[in-house]
Amino acid sequence: MAQATASALTSAQPNVTAAQISADLRRMDRRQWWLWSAACTIMLLLTIGVASFVFPSLWRGDVSGSSFGLGQAVRGLVGMVLLFNCYTVYQQVVLNRLRQQMSQQIQSLANVENLATEIYKLAALDQLTGLYNRRSAEKRLEEEISRAIRHARPLNLLLMDIDNLKEINDAHGHAAGDVVLMAFGERLRRAIRGSDQGSRIGGDEFMVVLPECPSGQVQHVINRLRTLTVEYEGATIKVNFSAGWKDYHPGETALEFIRRVDDALFADKRGKCEDLDLQAVDKTARRDRA
């Protein structure tokens, strides 16, 4: 719903941008500068014209002729100056009106762009962690699969699941769980490259699309996420997670790829559970022997 609204708003925007409108305003300023330059030039030419009427008579000593020519020239000059001043005032009013209209258009366009950005965030981003949501992750994965097939380049997919989020919620409350999720999302954002995409696809599940990343490099990303601790109301919370990753096999769909990586994630979680069970049995045996 939100994504459709964002698309509608985007299509409703005019075919101009704020930068283009600002460029039009600068052109208007230049036009105004040329208007004042033209005014100065016309005044100079009119002065020269008056002088051309008067100076010949003064040069011949014809005072009456010079007076008559000067009077005619002054009246013509005054008339032309008044006419040009009226034209200048009219142009100034028009330019100011256009500038106000364009300023309002810039503000309206900025408001629409801000609204479209907010709707896009609601449609594409997870509101708690700021990472991409599941829909965006699946769309990006399909795009990267097409690119990997087209250019024969490696593609890896990493799935992670926070192991002890339920225990954190039970022990410290759901607010503490939210803090842990936000901290993990921030650490994930710093651990991946700009070309990668980190997403929160469920309550405590995260997905990372790693284009042009060989399988041997995925472990470096995971290592950057280890040893995460969160301070909450005086308590130090250690965050543990399971991870599974696979490289893409040409010919499989995005859903098949995700299922294969999810199996690797489940195997990692099952291995940890078996280790915990063995540790519990060992502790029980040692206690019985004691």
The set of catalytic residues is 204
CA–CA separation, 60 vs 212, rounded Å? 93
Tokens of 190: 């710093």
Count of residues in the chain: 290
Q: Are strands 235-239 and 205-211 parallel, antiparallel or unpaired?
A: unpaired
Distances in whole angstroms, Cα of residue 153 to Cα of each of 142, 144, 147, 149, 255: 14, 10, 8, 7, 19
CA–CA separation, 51 vs 55, rounded Å? 6
Q: If DSSP codes are grouped into helix, strand and coil, which group holds residue 203?
A: coil
- 132: burial class by Cβ within 10 Å (0-12, 13-18, 19+)? buried
